Amino acid sequence: MATARDIAHPSGDRAVSYSIDNSPVATFHSPLSGRNSFMDNVILSKAAQKQLKPFNTEDIKILLLENVNQTGKDILTRQGYQVEALKTSLPEAQLIEKIRDVHVIGIRSKTKLTDKVLREAKNLLVVGCFCIGTNQVDLDYAAKHGIAVFNSPFANSRSVAELVIAEIITLARQLGDRSNEMHRGTWNKVSAKCWEIRGKTLGIVGYGHIGSQLSVLAEAMGMSVVYYDILTLMAIGSAKQVPTLDQLLEEADFVSLHVPETPETKAMISNKQFEQMKTGSYLINASRGTVVDIPALIKAMRANKIAGAALDVYPNEPAANGDYFNANLNTWGEDLRGLNNIILTPHIGGSTEEAQRAIGVEVAEALVRYINQGITFGSVNLPEITLRSLTLDEANHARIIYIHRNVPGVLRKVNEILAEHNVDKQITDSKGGIAYLMADISGIKTEDIKDIHDRLDSLTSRILTRVLY
């Protein structure tokens, strides 16, 4: 039955209108993938790989926001998809208007995909976060509605770690202030309260991809490293894990934050924590803006408790470049700008050519694998499923994808439907209340495909049914 999610297939005998999620029909297309990636080689048995699509590729509509790198745009465009790319994020009303129409959306950190926005996204199959953080997406709502979310978990980690190293030296030597003075024509040659970083202690909060990279770089520059994490993690080099945040704050000359945005990390550094820090110590935040209580930081710096700070992230960040970093955005904006020895950067920790190119490739390839093959490897909100690709030798095969609520008895019902056919291979996994089943069926006729699709789709456990062939 044709619905608002339908896509018309103008060509071929089997051209019929069906939505992407429920389309068992249409012309077979076999465009070659743009790149030979690791995943192509490992999972898709490249040699005789058959591209599975139940739709004309040019019908897939993709909206890319926030200036996604050209590498990502190229991969998606080469697939034949319709790609619209904007340099900025969009205000909520415009986002809702646009998202109704697309099957795929690519975003970075600014676009908030809340339940309110996702509710309107009736055609949406998948979200690509062209960044590390996924806190801007309601992952739970997306999973419950069969929308897969992918990100790039570590392609910009090194860029962030390098920025933090630069900031440690810049703060220790008050370089920002000296440079600003010179720009105003003032020569101010001082050494008071300017330090080497050699022998100083760096406290890293969150010892994941970025924190551990930073640890290596800091030790190479002669710093001692202590770290605090909710997990017990293997120390790299001579770094030492401490059992509490309190202990880290008491020991560190520089505190650098590398935790995700969660309810537990909200205002993790506030008045009490600034009091615990050493007098004359420094704070760096390149994680998320909600992690530091900024009015408390302003107070601690005015009291000379904290000798300097570097902030790359803020509770409210503008959707586009321009003169937006003012009191309208964050009430304390002016107070922050008036402090000495504070480095303020516009969320550029991961903004290097290397990182953005790598992220573009990684996320775009994940989107293509998901759209064309149903593979969820790397998804942050659905069970991670891969299944060996169908090959060109395997004619009359179809791939069934059934995303469903993880309730007792579903597999029996699904297999009653599939049992009338030859199931070549099948895999299923669950995450929370959501399960993902993928099965390849051989010797199939077009009318069987539609029948399987419609019967699966009528089960009460169904979230999303896709049939690819």
For ligand NAD, the binding residues (CB under 6 A) are 132-133, 154, 156-157, 160, 205-211, 228-231, 258-262, 264-265, 286-288, 312-313, 347, 349-350
Least Å from the CB of residue 336 to ligand NAD: 17
Q: Which residues of 408-422 are buried (b: 16+ CB within 10 A; e: fewer)?
A: eebbeebeebbeebe
- Selecting among 9, 288, 399, 404, the annotated active-site residue is 288
Indicate if 275 belongs to the active site. Answer: no
Q: How many residues bind ligand 2HG (CB under 6 A)?
A: 7
What is the C-alpha separation between 154 and 220, in angstroms, rounded?
21
- Selecting among 162, 181, 317, 394, the annotated active-site residue is 317
Task: Identify how many contiguous H helices and E strands the chain contains and give both numbers.
Answer: 15, 18
Q: Is 449 helix (H, G, I), strand (E, B) or coil?
A: helix
Indicate if 119 belongs to the active site. Answer: no
- With CB atoms as reference, the residue minimizing the distance to ligand NAD is 208
Least Å from the CB of residue 77 to ligand 2HG: 21
Long-range contacts of 212-218 (CB under 8 A, 24+ apart): 212/236, 213/157, 213/158, 213/160, 213/161, 214/160, 214/161, 214/164, 214/165, 214/256, 214/258, 215/239, 217/161, 217/162, 217/165, 218/165, 218/168
What is the C-alpha separation between 293 and 200, in angstroms, rounded?
25
Least Å from the CB of residue 350 to ligand 2HG: 4
Q: Are 59 and 101 in contact (CB under 8 A)?
A: no
Indicate if 288 belongs to the active site. Answer: yes
Least Å from the CB of residue 466 to ligand 2HG: 29
**Residue with Cβ nearer ligand 2HG (54 or 128):** 128
Residues 106-165 that bind ligand 2HG (CB under 6 A): 108-109, 131-133, 156
Choose the contact partner of 264 out of ligand NAD, ligand 2HG, none; CB within 5 to 8 A by kind: ligand NAD
* 387 is a site residue for ligand 2HG (CB under 6 A): no
Binding to ligand 2HG by CB under 6 A, coded x per residue (else -) over 222-261, reads ----------------------------------------
Helix ranges (DSSP H) in 26-79: 38-43, 70-78
Q: Are 152 and 132 in contact (CB under 8 A)?
A: yes
- Selecting among 173, 209, 347, 399, the annotated active-site residue is 347
Sign of CA dihedral 446, 418, 386, 6: positive
Residues 69-108 that bind ligand 2HG (CB under 6 A): 108
What is the C-alpha separation between 453 and 465, in angstroms, rounded?
7
Choose the contact partner of 108 out of ligand NAD, ligand 2HG, none; CB within 5 to 8 A by kind: ligand 2HG
At position 169, the amino acid (one-letter code) is I
**Residue with Cβ nearer ligand NAD (286 or 435):** 286
Q: Are 294 and 302 in contact (CB under 8 A)?
A: no
Residues 324-363 that bind ligand 2HG (CB under 6 A): 350
**Residue with Cβ nearer ligand NAD (87 or 388):** 87
Q: Which residues of 291-319 are buried (b: 16+ CB within 10 A; e: fewer)?
A: bbbbebbbebbeeebbbbbbbbbbbebbb
At position 62, the amino acid (one-letter code) is I
| Residue with tokens 């009490």, as numbered in its chain | 272
**Residue with Cβ nearer ligand 2HG (2 or 348):** 348
Least Å from the CB of residue 229 to ligand NAD: 4
Q: Enumerate the active-site residues.
A: 288, 317, 347
Residues found near ligand 2HG in the complex (CB under 6 A): 108-109, 131-133, 156, 350
